[in-house]
Amino acid sequence: MNVDDCKRAAAHLAASLVKPGMVVGLGTGSTAAFMIERLGERVAKEGLKIQAIPTSEESTKLARAAGIPITTFADHSVVDITIDGADEVERKTLHLIKGLGAALLREKIVAQASRRFVVIVDVTKPVDQLGQRVPVPVEVVPFGYEATAARLEAMGAKVIRPRRHLTGELLTTDNGNRILDCAFGPIDDVQALAARLDGTVGVVEHGLFPNMATDVLVATEREVEQWAP
């Protein structure tokens, strides 16, 4: 199995947890895309009746193309289940880094409103300590973002301003904000760092998701492991 096969296996298992009548949060990224495709098949073939709240414009497009009905928080304040990918999962705690696809703000709003938050990853994502492989993406308001970046650097981060692959422009989120990728290295106290980022002026939201996952499905070459906190 290659990485895409692993992502698909985790995505399909997660899609099987969705039951008729549920409001479903749809994550963003390549693993979530397999899950959206599978839910679309269930809607078309089994007549599965669900309503979905996507976490990005990209996932909204995929859901529409897959024939999944879309709803919003104006009609549903609680989401039954959200299924989303992650960039790192800390093995012991199941704390997450998310948002390298720039959708972290909507992802966190939807995850926080969910009864169940199922994270789907391939075997490359679990780590012993968050921050050991990837930076923490931080969504910041455009005004004064250079000053916010300096603030984050003073907190010990190496800050990278990601650009769009094709155009080279600075990345702008679906919410019109900027992303700063903040490499802190291995993070000893995830909740303390999350609190410091929460308290930083100019920061809208960050990609640390401590104590949020209710289930993590990790696809290895042989099976999909199911982890719970």
Ligand X SMILES: O=C(CO)[C@H](O)[C@H](O)COP(=O)(O)O
Q: Residue 30 burial (CB < 10 Å; 0-12/13-18/19+)?
A: middle
Q: Are 121 and 86 in contact (CB under 8 A)?
A: yes
The answer to whether 85 contacts ligand X (rule: CB under 6 A) is yes
Nearest approach, Cβ of residue 37 and ligand X (Å): 13
Find the binder of ligand X among 99, 131, 202, 210 (CB under 6 A). Answer: 99
Q: Are 204 and 1 in contact (CB under 8 A)?
A: no
Degrees, nearest 5: CA angle 226-125-213: 50
Find the binder of ligand X among 37, 58, 80, 87 (CB under 6 A). Answer: 87
Nearest approach, Cβ of residue 159 and ligand X (Å): 18
> Whose CA is closest to 32, among 78, 102, 85?
85
Tokens, residue 160: 């990278």
Find the binder of ligand X among 95, 98, 108, 178 (CB under 6 A). Answer: 98
The identity of residue 171, as a single letter, is L
Q: Please, what's the b/e burial string for 36-64 (b: 16 or more CB within 10 A of its CB; e: otherwise)?
A: bbbbbebbeeeebebbbbbbbebbbebbe
Nearest CB to ligand X, comparing residues 28 and 148? 28
The answer to whether 27 contacts ligand X (rule: CB under 6 A) is yes
The answer to whether 35 contacts ligand X (rule: CB under 6 A) is no
Measured torsion, CA atoms of residues 55, 125, 131, 90, in degrees rounded to the nearest 10: 90
- Binding span for ligand X by CB under 6 A among 40-48, 68-76, 102-110, 189-197: 102-110
Tokens, residue 38: 């599978």
Instruction: Respond yes or no: is residue 146 known to be catalytic.
Output: no
The answer to whether 29 contacts ligand X (rule: CB under 6 A) is yes
Nearest approach, Cβ of residue 16 and ligand X (Å): 18
Nearest approach, Cβ of residue 189 and ligand X (Å): 22
Catalytic residue among 58, 88, 107, 205: 107
Nearest CB to ligand X, comparing residues 74 and 209? 209
The answer to whether 84 contacts ligand X (rule: CB under 6 A) is yes
Tokens, residue 170: 């600075």
**Residue numbers belonging to the annotated binding site:** 28-31, 84-87, 98-101, 125
Which residues of the chain form contacts with ligand X (CB under 6 A)? 27-32, 84-87, 98-104, 107
Catalytic residues, by residue number, are 107
Query: Residue ranges for the binding site for substrate?
Result: 28-31, 84-87, 98-101, 125
